[in-house]
Amino acid sequence: MVQLSDFVDLIAGGNVAKRQTKIYSGEAHMLWEHLQQRHDYLELTLVALNNITDTEFKLMVEKGLRDTMKTQIEKVEDLLTIFGIPFPEGAPQSIKTKGDPEIWRDEMVFNLLLVGIRNFMNVHLRGVKLFLNDGLRNLFMEFLVEELKVHDNMMKYGKLKGWVLAPPAYGHQT
């Protein structure tokens, strides 16, 4: 597991200007963009969470928020602080809005969140492919593995509930 202590040599470097030379501008942008996207998905997930009626699904989403999304946000925020990168605008900590239950069906929320998880699998993979900094690359590999596990759990639950959008069965005709 990658810890912030892995970046201790960057912290020991003294001022922000010295730390900023430890990563490339593209890496700084990727960290900033990652945090911005996480904030957007956090806000969307909070809205969706207010509209989930299935108790088990709601607990699953709350666990994902707590154990994956918020944890990754905190790690990236810590890195932005270390490198002296300004934060993007943050998501609200809570949202009380409730939508129309005919629109915010659990199945729709499930598929909306699944699309977000798949998006972040790609975001993490992009970091793994593009980061030159070993610590950042390792952190994004960790994020990717974590996101894959979340995706796997969501797929299992979605199949159990009949929410996974399945294409028609393929039958080979001779």
Residue 39: give the domain boundaries.
14-160
CATH number for position 100: 1.20.1260.10
The two counts, helices (H) then strands (E), for the chain are 7, 0
Number of domains in the chain: 1
54 found inside a domain: yes
Output the pLDDT for position 20: 47
Q: What is the pLDDT of residue 12?
A: 46
**Residue length, the chain?**
174
Q: Is residue 52 part of a domain?
A: yes
**Assigned domain for 6 exists:** no
Contact 43, 49 (CB under 8 A): no
The pLDDT value recorded for residue 21 is: 47
From first to last of the 174 residues of the chain, give the pLDDT tens digit. 555 555 545 444 555 445 444 789 999 999 999 999 999 999 899 999 989 999 999 999 999 999 999 999 999 999 999 999 998 887 566 666 766 666 789 999 999 999 999 999 999 999 999 999 999 999 999 999 999 999 999 999 999 999 998 888 888 766
Domain assignment present for 68: yes
pTM of this structure:
0.81
Specify if 174 maps to a domain.
no
Residue 112: burial class (beta carbons within 10 Å; 0-12, 13-18, 19+): middle
Alpha-carbon distance of 77 to 71, in angstroms, equals 10
Domain contains 1: no
Q: Please report whether residue 136 resides in a domain.
A: yes
